[in-house]
Amino acid sequence: MREKVQKNLLSTRTLNQRVNHVKHFLEANDVTINQTKFKMKIKLPKEIKREKEGMAKDQIREILAACDDIRLKTYVMFLASTGWRASEALSLQVQDIDFDRNPVRVSLRGENAKTRTDRHTYLTQETVTQLKSWLDFKYRERTIKQYYDKKTGKIV
């Protein structure tokens, strides 16, 4: 294991978890560990927190241009414009969208959110246009295909 740590093959989080598991194992088997001495003798590496950046507009445009399905394009555009988690966007219902407001407001119910709190997000005009075209497509009037009825021998 020492070689893996020296070669940076183990992340700091993995190493910290393994040390904690060993400590809990020893304590479960009645081996007392003095916390002060432990902290003085063992220095665990601290995790470096990296700053996360969003995607660039050009990358989002490329992804949207590659979406040939209207349903997928609407979903990706909604995720890009709101910043919602994927599961939160999938739990969205039509009654959660307030098209009467300007700008259009979308409500996320707390039972569907990771944080269990209600949230409201305002949509861009491009996203509103895409959502409306998706809803028009989804609830369009469909034609019933004709089929051959074997009993009567007629096309219905």
pLDDT band at 22 (very low <50, low <70, confident <90, very high): very high
| Model pLDDT for residues 38-95, shown as the tens digit of each residue | 889 888 888 888 898 888 989 999 999 999 999 999 999 999 999 999 999 999 999 9
**Residues 15, 23: Cα–Cα separation, whole Å:** 12
Q: Does the structure show a pLDDT above 70 at 1? A: no
Where helices occur in 67-124 by DSSP H, the ranges are: 70-82, 86-90
Segment 140-150, tens digit of pLDDT: 988 777 777 88
Contact call for residues 48 and 12 (beta carbons, < 8 A): yes
Q: From CA 128, how far away is CA 136, in angstroms rounded?
A: 12
Neighbouring C-alpha atoms within 13 Å toward the C-beta of 107: 11
- Give the amino acid at 2: R
12-21, 94-103, 141-150, range with the lowest pLDDT = 141-150
Work out the pLDDT band at 3, boundaries 50, 70, 90: low
Task: Give the span between the Cα atoms of 144 and 141, in whole angstroms.
Answer: 10
Q: How far apart are the first and last CA of the chain?
A: 73
Is residue 5 predicted with pLDDT exceeding 70? Answer: no
pLDDT of 68 reads: 93
Confidence band for 124, pLDDT divided at 50, 70 and 90 = very high
Domain ranges across the chain? 2-41, 57-138
* pTM score of the predicted model: 0.63
Q: Output the CATH code of domain 57-138.
A: 1.10.443.10
